[in-house]
């Protein structure tokens, strides 16, 4: 409210936030011959109805105050939306960030290890938060057996995960792509014939 | 003849797919897409294309994830137009021009801006924003 009273005639506003990884990016605002570089957390430009552009850094204390009142950890977007009028709707509508999951298999099979079965359940919880996920499943193998057989096994692992995701109602088949990469992309490079558990895996990318 | 039809269908299918530049992931309240003079009600899962205009009502909001993982969400009473979007998923080169006529946006830039800072530009009635990364808010009253 205080902000509305302080700046009654804001026509346009841009605010740069710290990224999810803590890294602050940069937005260059150009208006005619004027150029404003926003490269600090909460750096902002504000165009007012008198045609002036103000470059300012929003009080971090003000933004920080909104976190103290909340018991839940909040993102920079949510913190900013809590103190700046007019951003709550956009912030609430941000899609879930793209994410990757890794699951591991019992040697020579498309059956998940016990640890990965638990991880699969955790992954389902994450995926259920997304209304319209797009999923890519990429299967891999270790270097036991012939490369051709491993191509087949890697695809079989990916297809099995796809079938399980469909069966769980996460997404329809046309929204899940499955591919096999055989033994070509090991996480841990090994000699041929080595039974490396970290290489027997699927990578599941969702957005 | 059957073979020619199959090839034509495949080529057409690919062309239609190539037009899609992102996907609507979230909606709230009244949201529609203006495309070639038509108004299409928006829902999660719907693909968006270059030259689409996203329009939200007074109670509306919409969130889109683009091919390069750029995320853009719009709050109520917003008009957001995708003017140009190109992305090469191998090189991560691309161009993204968009404009906010009115309303509010939250933006998380994606792979394209990481590869080429400044390759995403958002126009407002008064200014042009060159995006060098990564997260920002814009409002036009």
Helix (H, G, I), strand (E, B) or coil at A17: strand
Complex ipTM > 0.85: yes
Q: Calculate the average pLDDT of chain A.
A: 89
Contact state of B26 with A95 under an 8 Å Cβ cutoff: yes
Q: Is the pLDDT of residue A58 over 60?
A: yes
Band of pLDDT at residue A62, cut at 50, 70 and 90: low
* pLDDT, tens digit (0-9, with 9 covering 90-100), for A136-182: 999 999 999 999 999 999 999 999 999 999 999 999 999 999 999 99
Band of pLDDT at residue A66, cut at 50, 70 and 90: low
Task: Assess contact for A89 and B61: CB atoms under 8 A.
Answer: yes
Instruction: Tell whether pTM > 0.90.
Output: no
Helix (H, G, I), strand (E, B) or coil at B64: strand
Residue A59: per-residue pLDDT: 67
* pLDDT, tens digit (0-9, with 9 covering 90-100), for B72-120: 999 999 999 999 999 999 999 999 999 999 999 999 999 999 999 999 9
Token digits for B17? 């797919």
A16: which strand partners? B136
What is the separation, in whole angstroms, between the first and last Cα of chain B? 57
Non-local CB neighbours of B128 within 8 Å, separated by 6+ positions: A29, A30, A31, B121, B122
Tell me the percentage of chain A whose pLDDT exceeds 90: 71
Q: Calculate the average pLDDT of chain B.
A: 90
CA distance readout (Å), A97 to A4, A94, A100, B53, B63: 31, 8, 10, 23, 11
Count of CB atoms within 10 A of residue A115's CB?
10
Band of pLDDT at residue B17, cut at 50, 70 and 90: low
Token digits for B75? 């709050």
Q: Is B30 on the interface with A (CB under 8 A)?
A: no
Helix (H, G, I), strand (E, B) or coil at A126: helix
CA-based nearest distance B26→chain A, Å:
6
Query: Closest Cα to residue B49, out of B7, B79, B15?
Result: B15
Residue A130: per-residue pLDDT: 95
Q: Is the pLDDT of residue B7 over 60?
A: no
Residue B6: per-residue pLDDT: 44
Band of pLDDT at residue A80, cut at 50, 70 and 90: confident
Sorted by where each begins, the domain ranges of chain A are 2-92, 99-206
Band of pLDDT at residue B16, cut at 50, 70 and 90: very low
**Which residue, among A16, A27, A133, would best test binding to B if mutated, counting the most B CBs under 10 Å from its CB?**
A27
**Residues 107-136, chain B, touching A (beta carbon < 8 A):** 108-109, 113, 117-118, 124-136
Q: What is the largest CA-CA distance in chain B?
A: 57
Residue A2: per-residue pLDDT: 46
State the architecture of A99-206 in CATH terms: 2-Layer Sandwich (3.30)
With contacts defined as CB-CB under 8 Å, which chain A residues touch B89? Answer: none
Lowest mean pLDDT among A29-33, A62-66, B38-42, B93-97: A62-66
More confident residue, B77 or A73: B77
**Which residue, among A23, A26, A31, A93, would best test binding to B if mutated, counting the most B CBs under 10 Å from its CB?**
A93
Residue A10: per-residue pLDDT: 82
Q: Is the pLDDT of residue A31 over 60?
A: yes
Q: Is the pLDDT of residue A42 over 50?
A: yes
Contact state of B137 with A80 under an 8 Å Cβ cutoff: yes
Query: Closest Cα to residue A26, out of A35, A12, A39?
Result: A39
Can you tell me the mean pLDDT for A21-50?
A: 89
Q: Is A136 on the interface with B (CB under 8 A)?
A: no
Sorted by where each begins, the domain ranges of chain B are 22-140
Residue A70: per-residue pLDDT: 58
Non-local CB neighbours of B58 within 8 Å, separated by 6+ positions: B29, B30, B76, B77
Contact state of B126 with A28 under an 8 Å Cβ cutoff: no
Contact state of A77 with B139 under an 8 Å Cβ cutoff: no
Band of pLDDT at residue B14, cut at 50, 70 and 90: very low
With contacts defined as CB-CB under 8 Å, which chain B residues touch A47? Answer: 126-127
Band of pLDDT at residue A85, cut at 50, 70 and 90: confident
């Amino acid at each position: 409210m205080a902000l509305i009273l302080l700046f009654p005639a804001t026509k346009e506003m841009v605010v740069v936030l710290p990224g999810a990884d803590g890294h602050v990016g940069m937005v260059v605002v150009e208006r005619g011959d004027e150029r404003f570089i926003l490269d600090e957390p909460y750096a902002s430009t504000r165009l007012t109805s008198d045609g002036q552009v103000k470059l300012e850094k929003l009080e971090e204390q003000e933004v920080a105050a909104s976190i103290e009142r909340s018991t839940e950890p909040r993102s920079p977007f949510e913190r900013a939306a809590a103190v700046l009028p007019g951003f709550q709707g956009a912030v609430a509508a941000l899609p879930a960030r793209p994410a990757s999951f890794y699951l591991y298999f019992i040697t020579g099979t498309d059956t998940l290890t016990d640890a990965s079965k638990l991880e699969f359940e955790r992954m389902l919880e994450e995926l259920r938060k997304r209304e319209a996920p797009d999923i890519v499943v990429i299967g891999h193998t270790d270097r036991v057996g012939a490369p051709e057989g491993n191509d087949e096994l890697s695809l079989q692992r990916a297809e099995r995960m796809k079938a399980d995701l469909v069966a769980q109602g996460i997404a329809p088949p046309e929204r899940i792509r499955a591919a096999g990469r055989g033994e070509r992309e090991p996480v841990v490079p090994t000699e041929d014939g080595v039974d490396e558990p970290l290489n027997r895996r699927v990578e599941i990318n969702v957005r | 003849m059957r073979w020619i039809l199959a090839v034509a269908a495949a080529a057409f299918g690919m062309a239609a797919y190539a037009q899609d530049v992102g996907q609507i992931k979230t909606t709230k309240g009244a949201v529609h897409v203006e495309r070639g003079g038509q108004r299409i009600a928006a829902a999660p899962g719907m693909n968006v294309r270059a030259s689409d205009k996203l329009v939200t009502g007074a109670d509306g909001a919409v969130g889109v994830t683009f091919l390069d993982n750029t995320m853009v969400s719009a709050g109520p009473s917003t008009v957001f137009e995708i003017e140009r979007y190109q992305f090469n998923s191998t090189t991560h080169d691309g161009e993204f021009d968009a404009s906010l006529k009115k309303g509010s946006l939250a933006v998380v830039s994606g792979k394209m801006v990481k590869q080429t800072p400044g390759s995403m530009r958002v126009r407002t009635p008064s200014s042009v924003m060159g995006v060098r990364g990564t997260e920002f808010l814009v409002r036009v009253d």
